[in-house]
C-alpha cells in the first residue's frame, strides 16, 4: 500500500512538472506500478498459502482478489486506454482490494487463533 501511495505522489509531482527535466519521472512512473503488481501478487500468495493451511474458507476470496489485483489493472489499461486518469482510479481500487482482504484475513485469523 505504501508503494501505491508513492506512485500517486510521483504522479502528482510529474503532473506539476514542465520541461525536459520531467523525463526523470518516466522510469519511476513505469517501475512503481510494476512493483505494486509484484507486491500484490506476493501479498496474495502468502495470504493464500496461509489460508489453505489454517482456514480454507478464505482461499477463494483471496485467490479472486489476487487475480483481480494483478490482471485487472492490465485489463483496465486496455479498456480505458484513451482515459489514463480512469485507468489510475480503477487500477488503484483493484490494487488495494487484495492487500486489504489479506489484512482482514490476517487480523481475523489471528484473533480466532488466540481464543
> CA–CA separation, 101 vs 98, rounded Å?
5
pLDDT of residue 62: 97
pLDDT of residue 18: 82
Per-residue pLDDT tens digits of the chain, which is 115 residues long? 788 888 888 888 888 888 888 888 788 878 888 898 999 999 999 999 999 998 899 999 999 999 999 999 999 999 999 998 898 889 989 999 999 999 999 888 666 654 4
- Can you state the angle between helices 25-54 and 59-79, rounded to 10 degrees? 160
Tell me the three cell numbers of residue 110. Answer: 489471528
Do residues 1 and 96 lie in contact, with contact meaning Cβ atoms separated by under 8 Å?
yes
> CA–CA separation, 55 vs 1, rounded Å?
24
Look up the domain containing 19 and give its range. 2-114
Question: How many separate domains does the chain show?
Answer: 1
What is each CA distance from 50 to 108, 109, 111, in whole angstroms?
13, 10, 15
DSSP 8-state assignment for residue 53: H
pLDDT of residue 113: 57
Q: Is the overall model pTM greater than 0.75, yes or no?
A: yes
pLDDT of residue 111: 62
pLDDT of residue 23: 84
Amino acid at each position: 500500500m505504501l508503494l501505491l501511495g508513492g506512485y500517486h505522489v510521483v504522479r502528482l509531482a510529474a503532473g506539476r512538472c514542465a520541461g525536459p527535466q520531467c523525463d526523470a519521472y518516466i522510469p519511476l512512473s513505469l517501475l512503481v506500478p510494476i512493483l505494486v503488481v509484484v507486491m500484490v501478487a506476493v501479498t496474495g500468495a502468502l495470504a493464500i498459502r496461509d489460508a489453505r493451511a489454517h482456514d480454507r474458507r478464505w482461499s477463494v476470496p483471496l485467490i479472486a482478489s489476487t487475480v483481480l489485483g494483478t490482471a485487472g489493472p492490465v485489463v483496465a489499461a486496455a479498456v480505458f486506454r484513451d482515459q489514463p486518469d480512469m485507468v489510475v482510479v480503477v487500477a488503484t481500487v483493484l490494487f488495494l482490494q487484495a492487500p486489504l482482504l489479506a489484512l482482514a484475513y490476517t487480523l481475523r485469523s489471528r484473533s480466532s487463533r488466540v481464543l
